[in-house]
Structure 1
C-alpha cells in the first residue's frame, strides 16, 4: 500500500507542474493575470499565440500520460490505475505549486485517457473538436468531449473502473467549467480565435 500511495502522490505532483505558468513566464507574462486567468493552453493561445499554446497543450496532455505509464510499469491496473489518472488531473486542477489552484483539466484528462484506452480517446477527440470548431467555444467542445467519452465507454462495454474514471473526469471538467457555463448562458463567453492584450484583460 505504501508503494501505491507513492505512485498516487507522484501522479498528483506530475499533474501539478504548471506548464502554462512556466511557458508564459519565459515571455515575461504571468498567465494568471491576463485573459481568463486560466493556466491552460486556451488562455496561452489568446495571450501569447499558437506556438506557446502548443507547447503547453503537449505538456499538459503528456504529464497525465506519463503518470499512467509509470503506474502500469510498477504493475498497477484496474481501479488503482483509474485512481492514478484522477490524481494527475486533480494535480493539474489544484496544483501544489500554485496554492492548490490550477487549470480546467481537459488536456490532462485527455492525456490520461489516451494512455488508458487509446481507441476511446481517439473516438472522443473528433467529437469534442467538431463542437469546438463549429461553435468556436472551447468550453463547449471540452464539456461535450467529457460527455462523449463517458457515453462511449459505456456503449463500448469498457470495464466498470474505466467507465467510472472517465465519468469522474467528465464531472471534474463540468465543475471547472461552471463559470464558462454561466457565460455561455449569458452569451458572454469568449470564442476561439479572440486575442487578449497582455497589457490588459
Structure 2
C-alpha cells in the first residue's frame, strides 16, 4: 500500500507540472492562461507561439501520463493501482497543484496514460484521432470521438473491469471539459485544424 500510495501521489504531482506554462515561460511567450482561449494546453500554445512550442507542450503533456504508468508496470503493481495512477496523472493535468488547480483539458495526458497502459491501446486511440482529424479537420471532434471509443478499445484489448472503469471516468471528464467545444460544434463555430488562429482548445 505504501508503494501504491507513493506512486499515485507522484503521478498526480507529475501531472501537475504544466508543460504549456513552463514552455511559454522558457520561450518568452505570454502566459497561456491569459492569452487566446486562456487554456494551458498545446492548442492554445500553438495559437500563441506557433508549432514548435506547441509540439513541445504536446510531448510534455503526453509524457506526464506515460511515465507513471511505465513505473507502475516496472514495479509490477496490480491493475487497480495502474488505474489509480492513470487517473492521478490525468487529474493532475486538469487540476495542477502547482498552478492554482487551473489546467488543460487532458487529451494528450490521457493518450499518454493509454500508451503507458499498453501501447496497442494508445496506438488505436491515436489512429482514430488522426483519421477523424484528417477527414473532418476538427481537433476537438477528433478528441471527443477517439476518447469516446477508448473504453471500448480497453474492453477489447485488456478487459479488466477496473481499467475499463478508469477509462470511462477519464472519458466522462474529457467530455465534460469539452462542453464549450460541443456547443461550438453544434452551432458550427468550432475552429478547424487548418485555421491558424481561432477556435477553442481541446487539450
- Paired with 2:193 and 2:28, the residues of 1 have a C-alpha distance of 22
Pairs within 5 Å for 1:12-161: 12-25=12-25, 26-156=27-157, 158-161=159-162
Moved more, 154-163 or 95-104: 154-163
Deviation at 1:44, TM superposition (A): 1.1
TM-score of the superposed pair, with normalisation by structure 1 = 0.91
Deviation at 1:181, TM superposition (A): 0.7
Deviation at 1:131, TM superposition (A): 1.4
- Paired with 1:70 and 1:38, the residues of 2 have a C-alpha distance of 29
Counterpart of 2:201? none
Deviation at 1:125, TM superposition (A): 1.1
Asked whether the 8 Å contact 1:128–1:145 carries over to 2, the reply is yes
Deviation at 1:157, TM superposition (A): 5.5
TM-score of the superposed pair, with normalisation by structure 2 = 0.90
RMSD between aligned alpha carbons?
Answer: 1.6
Deviation at 1:3, TM superposition (A): 2.9
Deviation at 1:45, TM superposition (A): 1.4
Asked whether the 8 Å contact 1:44–1:52 carries over to 2, the reply is yes
- Paired with 1:71 and 1:153, the residues of 2 have a C-alpha distance of 17
User: 1:70-124: per-residue Cα shift (whole Å, max 9, x none)?
Assistant: 2233332211111100100000001111211100110000001101011111112
Structure 2 gap segments, 5+ residues each: 199-203
Q: Number of paired residues?
A: 197
- Paired with 1:6 and 1:124, the residues of 2 have a C-alpha distance of 29
Structure 1 gap segments, 5+ residues each: none
Asked whether the 8 Å contact 2:111–2:125 carries over to 1, the reply is no
Runs of 4+ in 1 over 4 A off after TM superposition: none
Counterpart of 2:2? 2
Query: Secondary structure of 1:14's partner?
Result: helix
Query: Secondary structure of 2:33's partner?
Result: helix
Asked whether the 8 Å contact 2:68–2:86 carries over to 1, the reply is yes
Asked whether the 8 Å contact 2:115–2:121 carries over to 1, the reply is yes
- Paired with 1:36 and 1:129, the residues of 2 have a C-alpha distance of 23
Deviation at 1:34, TM superposition (A): 1.5
